[in-house]
Amino acid sequence: VRAQGDTYQVVADVSQFEPPDIVVTTSNCHVAIQAEKVADDGTVCDTFTHKCQLPEDTDPLSVSCTLTEAGTLVITARRR
Give domain limits for the chain. 2-78
pLDDT, tens digit, for every residue of 11-70?
Answer: 999 999 999 999 999 998 899 999 999 999 999 999 999 999 999 999 988 999 999 999
Note the pLDDT of residue 52: 94
Q: Is 2-78 assigned to CATH 1.10.3720.10? A: no
How many angstroms from the chain centroid is the CA of residue 48?
A: 10
User: What is the residue type of 76?
Assistant: T
pLDDT for the residue 60: 87
Average pLDDT taken over every residue of the chain: 93
Q: What are phi and psi of 57, to 5 degrees?
A: -90, 20
3-state secondary structure of 36: strand
**Backbone torsions φ then ψ of 10, nearest 5 degrees:** -120, 130
